[in-house]
Each structure stands twice: as structure tokens, then as C-alpha cells.
Amino acid sequence: MRQEVEKKAEERQDLVTRRTILRGALWTFAMLMAHPIIPFRSYVGASSNPSQEERTMREKSLLVAVKGGSYEERVDRAIEALGGINRWVNKGSRVLVKPNIGWNVPPEGAANTHPRVVKRIVEHCITAGAREVIVFDHTCDSWQAAYRNSGIEEAVKSAGGKMIPGNSEDLYEKMKIPRASTLKEVKVHGEYMNADVVINVPILKHHSGAGMTCALKNLMGVVWDRGFYHLHGLDTCIAEFSLVRVPNLTIVDAGIIMKTGGPRGNPKSVFERQDMLIASSDPVICDVAAAFTLGKRPEELGYIEEAANLGIGTNIMDKVEVRRISI
């Protein structure tokens, strides 16, 4: 009796059943997808070699500027005007929100993105069904202190996001940028490359070295060796870094802006209340709008033009649809 059962089982194993075929197909598919030559992470191919069509598609973008109201209201209105966060964040996607947390300075110091802005954005992402919302910055000051005292750690945690460290070299991956002239190789934080959606949330402020820090400059916070930038020319490196990956969405906090003494701010810094928020999927036009807000001309800032020439975005206001919202 028992032998018969075993024999039958053996025979069944030799048979090519539907199940075996399906299983084999599944394995083949999985092996193929796991192979490094398959561009499984589609963005790597797309963003490092963007075709002109794709660029123009993106360039027909929208610039939203919201003035007045509270931090949360501005974020809500801007995202609404852009067509809702669902345009970028799908159900189950991993979202990286990258604010500026460079300094161990309280929110009043306007050196870091305001925690209320970050919190609202994280909440939007989670409402849209994001699987995980992660937040980090490669801080200048000691990172735990900066995370905590900027108020961002608490804001992110209460909104359901996750703070991760960014100050250890082993978190960074080496990336090659073939199109770059100076920044040919750069160590980028792994999460910046792996996240499905990147939302860049800079704060607008004066910067002693680069003139102004906003959308493009904020991406220096996902790079390991910033000394290289300083050594080989800030403007070129800042512009060329975006060839690695352009953030899907840029939301600029211009609530209180630091007019002098940036980026850290010192006891003599001058601040100005703007109560503004600028948002677009194009970081370059965000920087142009930000430059006007700070009282500078975009031509003064070398990296804006260089980035536009590389096709990362446009620096011409007329090419985009500007939607101004006053609350």
C-alpha cells in the first residue's frame, strides 16, 4: 500500500504539470529581474540619460507659489494646486522627504526647514498610502542634536515618518555621472537612490559660499564628500549632481528667510518674514523663484544657469505656468 503511494508520487514528479511550468516561469522571471543588467530600478536609466522628450514633458510644469496663512495651510494649498500628492506618491511607495536639517539651531533660527512644513508633507504622503516615509539629512553639526533641536525629529515621528541617520560613510553608495564634467563620481546616500519618490523640502536662505541655498543646493545633503564640491567649484558640482536623480517634487519653505549670515546664521543675521511656499516638480525654476524672493537675480547664481543648460529644468519663468495663491 505504502509503496504504491510512493511510486505514484514519483511518477507525478516526472510529469510536466501546469504547476511545474508556472513555477519555472516564475523563477525565470525572478532570476531575470534580479540580474544586474536588467534596469529594474527604472529611474537610474531614465534620469542619468534623460531623453529630450521626457525633459520637455516635465518642463511643461507648474510653479505654485502660496503666500500668507499658516505653514500647514500653505502646504495644503500648494499640493492641491499641483494636483494632489497622489500624482507622485502611490499606494505602497517608499517616500524620501529631504528637508534641510544642517544645523543644530531651533526652528526660530530659520536655518533648517520648518518642522511644521515637514510634518504636513509627511502626513500627506502617509494619507496617500505611502508604505514608508523616511527623512534624513547629512547634517553639518552633530546629527542627533540637529535632528532633535530643529524639531524635525519629533514632527516626523508624530506624523508617522521615520528619521534615519545620514552621517556615516557606509550609508553612501558610489555613483558615476557620465555626463558631468567635474563631478564624475559621487557618493550618494543609498536611500536617495532607492526611494520610489523623493520630495525635496529645502528652506530658502542666504548662503555665503553659493549665494543662496534652496532646491538644488539642498541636495548637497545627500552627498558624502562635500569638500569635493568646495574644492572643485560649488556651482558646477551643485548643477551636475542633479544628473544622478532629479527629485520628483520640490517644496520650498520660505516662511521666514535669512537674508544675511547664511547658511548657519549668526547673531547679526537679518531675517525677513515672507510667509511663502514655492512648489514645483522642477527644482531649477524653484530656485529662480526663490532667488527673486531673496532679492537676488537668478543670473547671480551660477548653478541655476548651469543646471538649466544640463537640461535638469528650465530657468525661464515664461516657460512655466505660474500659479500664485494668496491666502
CA angle 153, 218, 44 (to 5 degrees): 100
Check binding of 266 to another protein (CB under 8 A).
yes
**Quick one: which of 168, 176, 194, 300 contacts another protein (CB under 8 A)?**
168
Q: Is 295 left (phi over 0), alpha (psi -120 to 50) or beta?
A: left
Q: Is 219 in the site for another protein (CB under 8 A)?
A: no
Tell me the DSSP string of 234-277. HHHHHHHHTTT---SEEEEEEEEEE-SSTTT--TT--EEEEEEE
| DSSP SS3 for 137 | coil
- What whole-number distance in Å separates Cα of residue 318 and Cα of residue 312? 17
Distance (Å, whole) CA 75 – CA 251 = 8
Nearer to another protein, 88 or 100 (CB): 100
DSSP at 64: E
Q: Which stretch binds another protein (CB under 8 A): 21-29, 46-54, 163-171, 183-191?
A: 163-171
Using rule CB under 8 A, residue 174 touches another protein: no
Choose, by CB under 8 A, the member of 295, 299, 316, 321 that binds another protein: 295
Does 233 contact another protein by CB under 8 A? yes
DSSP 38: S
Contact between 142 and another protein by CB under 8 A: the answer reads yes
Q: Judged by CB, which is closer to another protein: 202, or 262?
A: 262
Nearer to another protein among residue 125 and residue 251 (C-beta):
251
Count of C-beta atoms within a 10 Å radius of residue 7: 10
C-beta closer to another protein: residue 96 or 125? 96
Residue 249 phi/psi, 5-degree rounding, is -145, 140
> Binding of another protein at residue 227 (CB under 8 A)?
yes
| Locus of grid cell 526647514 | 113
Site string for another protein, 68-107 (x = CB under 8 A): ------------------------------------xxx-
Site residues, another protein (CB under 8 A): 65, 67, 104-106, 140-145, 148-149, 165, 167-169, 207-210, 226-228, 230-235, 256, 261-264, 266-275, 288-289, 292-293, 295, 317, 322, 324, 326
